[in-house]
Amino acid sequence: MYTEKVMDHFQHPRNVGEIENASGVGTVGNARCGDIMRIYLDIDENQIIRDVKFKTFGCGAAVATSSMATELVKGKSVQEAMAVTNKAVMEALDGLPPVKVHCSLLAEEAIHAALWDYAEKNGIKIEGLDQKPKSDIHEDEDEEY
C-alpha cells in the first residue's frame, strides 16, 4: 500500500524538531482527523532557506510527506519553496494511497503559513502568496466529503 520511499521517510523522518528564533513558523491543522503540523524555517538575508524543521501530531503519511517536503525546500529560495506543492511531494515519494492525499496538504499549507509569517515579519511579498494561508486545511470545504 505504501511505497518504499514513504516507508523510509515515515520510519526515518528527516528534519524533525524545532528552530529557536525561526524566521518563520507555520502551524496548520486538519479538523477532520485532528492532526497538526508545525514547520519552522530559518531563512538567510538572501531569502534562502538555510534550515527547516517540523513537528507533527500526524499520521504516518503526514510524517512522511512532511519529511520529504522539508528535504525539498532546504537550500531553496523562498520563491522556489512555493513550488513545493503536495503534488510535488507525492511525486517525490512515488505516490500515496488516495485516502491519504489530504495528509500531504498539511505540509504544503504549513510551509506556506511559515513563509507568510516570514514575509509579514520582514515586510516583504512572496509571489503567489497573496492571502493568509489557512490554518485548517478543511476550512473552506463542505461538511460532507
Q: Which of 103, 107, 110, 113 is catalytic?
A: 103
Q: What are phi and psi of 144, to 5 degrees?
A: -80, 135
Among this protein's residues, is 59 annotated catalytic? no
Three cell numbers at 116?
Answer: 507568510
Q: How far is the CB of 46 from ligand FES (least distance, A)?
A: 33
CB of 62 to ligand FES, least distance (A): 4
Least distance CB 103 / ligand FES (angstroms): 3
Based on CB atoms, which residue is closest to ligand FES, 35 or 42?
A: 35
Our CB check for ligand FES shows the closer of 42 and 108 to be: 108
103 is catalytic: yes
Q: What are phi and psi of 61, to 5 degrees?
A: -65, -35
* Residues forming the site for ligand FES (CB under 6 A): 30, 33, 35, 58-59, 61-62, 103, 106
Q: Which amino acid is at 59?
A: C
DSSP label at residue 112: H
* Shortest distance, position 77 Cβ to ligand FES, whole Å: 28
- Which one-letter amino acid corresponds to residue 137? I
Catalytic residue among 8, 14, 16, 33: 33
3-state helix, strand, coil split of the chain in percent (to 5) is: 40, 20, 40
In SS3 terms, 65-101 reads as: HHHHHHHHHCCCEHHHHCCCCHHHHHHHCCCCCHHHH
With respect to ligand FES, which residue has the nearer C-beta, 101 or 126? Answer: 101
For the annotated catalytic residues, the residue numbers are 33, 103
